[in-house]
Structure 1
Amino acid sequence: MGVKGLSSLLEDNRMISPDIHFRDRKLVVDGNNLLFHLYFSSNLDQNHGGEYLAFQVEVQAFFKTLADCGIKPYVVMDGGSSTSDIKLETFKIRAREKVQKTHDAALTGRKGRILPTLTKHVFRQTLNDLKVPLVYCFGEADGRLAALAKEWCCPVLSADSDFYIFDLPGGLLHLDHFRWRAVETRRGIPCRRYSMSSFCTFFNIDPQLLPVFASLAGNDYVNLRDVKWARYLPAGSPKMKFSGTNLVGLLSWLGARADRTTEDTLTAVMDLMPSMSQQTQTEAQTMLRKSMLEYRLPSSSLRGFFSEGTVPPLPAEMLRCVPDWVRAPLARGELNSDVLGLLVHRRNKLRTQVEHSDLQSSNLTSKHIRQVWYGLLLGLGGGEMEEVDRVGLELISFQVRPLVQGAAQTLRLDSLPQADPAVRLQVCLETLGVEEETLEGVPAHLRLPVAVTRYWLRRASPEPMLF
């Protein structure tokens, strides 16, 4: 969810995050944040398919620096959809923004912080090659990542403002101030260390009310502009941006309520907005309580994975629709994390690429492949799958029919790993529309690229121009 403006507020109050040098310790790494940070801070191509080799070199350099300083990283990634749809609206808002950004990039050539499609795959493969410990969570990683860091009493490396709210004994090292390129090997990596206790002391707020603060400041259900928070600012407060005034005013108001319970505080917030109807107040309080639960640390399920290879358990709500064999490949990143969203919600949110909005979505080229994929997951009579893709500059949902035909009819989801390799090959060839005899004479390591290229040449729209 994030707390908009909180990072800027901390930047204006540097004493909350003192400068340190970090080395010779464990470090729990927010993998999603790191790969975005490394790609965008390296001035690599974003609009023409990406620069994957250069990105690989950047990732290798980063983890070599950690190793040189005796730092042992443990990388945690988001691993697909959660069982709840609480963030579906947030996704839709961000997806619509991305459609516009990709269109603008196609028109102007300017960079819009658009991550090329295969960046995450390159990141995962590079970490595997380097033997850096890596796990994909079942759902969002923040809570489990924080729980592991708390258990190990080590810092978290991230740029996500949610980690300002978690109680982390080792603190947070913000990626923007983690100066690994300016490393002093003997002293360690220059950075800043944030701790929740320093934040609460500085703003005189009860730590138990921090989730209330984050939920009020980081949601769309209670608009902070509806309350004149500036009237709660301490006397003599310096001038600041409007968002900063709101946050400090809210913190000051919460600080004056140290003797109140969370429920009392939520009720008091509603009292500050008398124009809100009773029904809207009830709905807002319900959503605020749900968002506050995201800051309650779960028991750590990742330590066993990193120390013994024990695969984290699936949430109970997923057990009925996700086969047991799926867990280990998902946790290791060997299986596309979209599988969870497909099995749990029967929904696939397609990625938007840099392309002119007058053209049809490039995702249509691979629609047939996805239909076969859906057929393998859902089987015969499994119903339709919802796809979310762009049409022009609009985000539209479509119902897509899974395909179960040819050799795929002999396969079942619960026993896919045991399928005969010859049958798997036949399913792949049938999906791409290639006869095995066509590939005779092609070196083994080039057969898949040749088959995929042939599929693309036949199905791409507009038709590729061959020179």
Structure 2
Amino acid sequence: MGVQGLTSLIKDNSHIYRDVQFRDSRLVVDGSNLSFHLYCTAGLDQTYGGDYAAYENLIERFVKALRGCGIQPYTVKNGVSIFQCDDHTDKKLETKKKRAKARIQTAHKNSQGWRNGAIMPLMCISLFRQTLVRLEVPVVRCFLEADREVAALASDWKCPVLSNDGDFYIFDLPAGLLPIPHFQWQKAAQRRYVPCKKYTASGFCSFYNIQRRVLPAFAVLAGNDYVKLEDMGVSLRLEHPVRAPNISWRRSHLEALLCWLGDFQEPQEALVAALKLMGEVSREKEAEVLQRLSVGMEEYQLPPSALGRFFTDGTVPPLPPKDQGLVPDWIRLPFTEGRLDKVILNVLRLRRVRLPSMVEHGRLTSSHLTSRPIRQEMYGLLLGEEEVEEYDREGLLLTSRRVRVLMEALEVEPSCFQGVEPHLRLLVAVTCYWMQNASPTPDLELQHALLLGLVAAHTIQHVDELLSDVCVVALQVKNKNATQSPVYFVAHAFNQWQSCVMVSMQLNQLLGFPLPEPQTTVTNSIIKSLMLCGSNCLLLMFSRLCGGKLFHQLVHRLWGGVHPELLLTRTPSSLELYRTLLAAVQQPQHRRTTHSLEDLTANLEQLNLPDKDKEAARSAAHQPKNPSI
């Protein structure tokens, strides 16, 4: 993100940073950036389908470390997905398409055992927010991209930002930026402060002898996610000093640009002068370039924060003016609180969705195809007869297609929930759907492995019991391959299930939670007790949401001839639950009773009203529409 090459430039001139002992302060956290960094730098699984419990434990330890130093984090997350754009001009769309194409290639290579990039498992985003809410860490989701809101809130509160996004090197933050890679929170317990490095725009400008007001001009002339000179068919012809062999052209160009900007006091003055360094261009072209550069600089002008009052007294930020005719007002509160997924806002605003990449072989069809009927149901509730443009992959190519709405998703009859506790019902319904619609159809071993995983997700007690039994059987079964490598079609089946879970949770949110969301909690005592089972059983430790490693391990055990109930013989309660789930998913499946679009959409606003307003809304709904009748 941000100016390409700027982070590396600052890293090579590390004395721009100042060492600090951070404690006793508010901290505005770039949530999207932190969630990715925590998972992908901890060595957690990206191949089997996700180390969800390990990730949850990591988040808990991070929050505990901050609180032990008197640091109060306030987490701000993006309101647009990684492929959406923050306005209707799509000025970042091409940049994000390139990144999406790169992720498809990375996911394919990672499925073959390569490690040339990071792909977050599908449920990590939901788990990150859910864990923070459980730990009572304030979390808010923006309607647009979070960068400006994060910077504006930190500016109002005079506290630092925690992020690894290069855009924060340009914002003039009063308390500066704490780059995540230098934020040594793991050392906080012994010291009661977090050793870290602090960046300030004033320190950067002093080092390069330029005015702070000129930094936005530097960003747009160097090229960022919003504006690039090459996209406008022009280039900046600067005199580069002779560079050392180990210095890249990009770094040399940035340093030459910074040196040149030292002669200017105001950013607009620099932009006008830059036009003379672009060769022979027409007046019309000059006007176009100047206008686009000027608009690009506006991204770094901070408005008053719309989030401060939400954190202090619950005042919900208004919708952006351009969206007030597209997004119903009742969405504001549940969306800001995170009770509605960001995909809902993106569908309403842009009619565009990018489906997250998953680690899977490019020769297989996208796992998201299985969950498409569920998404169609959600699109229908939101848009009626309109279309949504979905971006996914076909093989290794980024593709898009128009998805018609109002097509019924295949669902189960309520009778299948007999005996199933409420917090497992959504996962049971999704599993029924997955067994009928996954391609290829999951074999019995895969089906039984997933049900065993759901037993593990039932309660803390059952997790302990099941994993203990699996450990015993693992020692009894003479398997020459103690640590099996992932099988790509097993990973593909699990990815299809996760995709169905993700979309079903989004639809469940939209409908006002007719089914409770699955819980994803874990305790340190269970983790410590499982460590005693030996290294061969470490693959089984983290089983939240039917963790990917547990799923693969169970499949291998069942392929080896182990009967699924053998894993549960020592724990009658788990065996009973397994049989209940098996009976539920083996019932004949039927489409649910079809309701009209008007019936369903009429309930959406009421479902998301505060509790005190719901009764009034229900009463109003039952009043005659025509008083004369």
Q: Answer whether TM exceeds 0.5 for this pair.
A: yes
Give the corresponding residue for 1:163: 168
Distance 1:4 1:336 in 2: 30
Q: Deviations over 1:289-312 (max 9, x none)?
A: 232111110111111000001111
1:201 Cα deviation after fit: 1.1
Question: What aligned pairs does 1:232-243 form with structure 2 within 5 A after superposition?
Answer: 240-243=247-250
Give the corresponding residue for 1:14: 14
The answer on 1:395 being equivalent to 2:402 is: no
1:207 Cα deviation after fit: 1.3
Q: Deviations over 1:254-281 (max 9, x none)?
A: 11223xx433322322321215565554
Q: How many residues align?
A: 436
Distance 1:239 1:454 in 2: 58
**Contact 1:432/1:452 (8 A) holds in 2:** no
Q: Deviations over 1:356-410 (max 9, x none)?
A: 111111111001000000011012xx321111111111111211111166xxxxx
- Greater C-alpha Rg: 2
Give the corresponding residue for 2:425: 447
Give the corresponding residue for 1:327: 332
Distance 1:151 1:268 in 2: 33
Question: What aligned pairs does 1:419-458 form with structure 2 within 5 A after superposition?
Answer: 431-458=409-436
Question: What aligned pairs does 1:345-360 form with structure 2 within 5 A after superposition?
Answer: 345-360=350-365
Distance 2:322 2:257 in 1: 36
Paired AA for residue 250 in structure 2:
S
Distance 1:163 1:267 in 2: 25
1:187 Cα deviation after fit: 5.2
Q: SS where residue 370 of structure 2 aligns? A: helix
Give the corresponding residue for 1:248: 255
Distance 1:172 1:122 in 2: 26
**Contact 1:27/1:156 (8 A) holds in 2:** yes
Tell me: CA distance 1:458–1:93, structure 2 relative to 1, closer, same or farther (3 Å). Answer: same
Decide which moves more: 390-399 or 213-222.
Answer: 213-222
Q: SS where residue 75 of structure 1 aligns? A: strand
Paired AA for residue 149 in structure 2:
R
Paired AA for residue 249 in structure 1:
A
**Contact 1:47/1:109 (8 A) holds in 2:** no
The answer on 1:86 being equivalent to 2:91 is: yes
Q: SS where residue 444 of structure 2 aligns? A: coil
The answer on 1:122 being equivalent to 2:127 is: yes
Structure 1 alignment gaps of length 5 or more: 406-430
Distance 1:309 1:330 in 2: 13
Paired AA for residue 376 in structure 1:
L
Distance 1:52 1:400 in 2: 31
1:179 Cα deviation after fit: 0.7
Distance 1:151 1:118 in 2: 33
Q: Deviations over 1:229-267 (max 9, x none)?
A: 453x5x999973322211111000011223xx4333223
Give the corresponding residue for 2:148: 143
1:110 Cα deviation after fit: 2.7
The answer on 1:57 being equivalent to 2:57 is: yes
Paired AA for residue 440 in structure 2:
P
Q: SS where residue 119 of structure 2 aligns? A: coil
**Contact 1:69/1:185 (8 A) holds in 2:** no
**Contact 2:310/2:316 (8 A) holds in 1:** yes
Give the corresponding residue for 2:316: 311
Question: What aligned pairs does 1:4-403 form with structure 2 within 5 A after superposition?
Answer: 4-80=4-80, 81=84, 82-84=86-88, 85-110=90-115, 112-183=117-188, 185-186=190-191, 188-219=193-224, 221-223=228-230, 226-227=235-236, 229-231=238-240, 240-258=247-265, 261-274=266-279, 280-379=285-384, 382-403=385-406
Decide which moves more: 451-460 or 60-69.
Answer: 451-460
Distance 2:437 2:280 in 1: 56
Q: SS where residue 108 of structure 1 aligns? A: coil
Distance 1:466 1:236 in 2: 63
Distance 2:400 2:325 in 1: 25
Tell me: CA distance 1:221–1:283, structure 2 relative to 1, closer, same or farther (3 Å). Answer: farther
Paired AA for residue 177 in structure 1:
H
Structure 2 alignment gaps of length 5 or more: 446-629
**Contact 1:173/1:194 (8 A) holds in 2:** yes
**Contact 1:38/1:58 (8 A) holds in 2:** yes
Distance 1:446 1:465 in 2: 22
CA RMSD of aligned residues (A): 2.2
Decide which moves more: 347-356 or 132-141.
Answer: 347-356
Tell me: CA distance 1:20–1:280, structure 2 relative to 1, closer, same or farther (3 Å). Answer: same
Paired AA for residue 108 in structure 1:
G
- The equivalent position to 1:461 in structure 2, one of 423, 430, 439, is 439
Give the corresponding residue for 2:499: none
Provide the TM-score with structure 2 as the length reference.
0.66
**Contact 1:230/1:245 (8 A) holds in 2:** no
Paired AA for residue 411 in structure 2:
G
Q: SS where residue 196 of structure 2 aligns? A: strand
1:15 Cα deviation after fit: 2.5
Q: SS where residue 303 of structure 2 aligns? A: coil
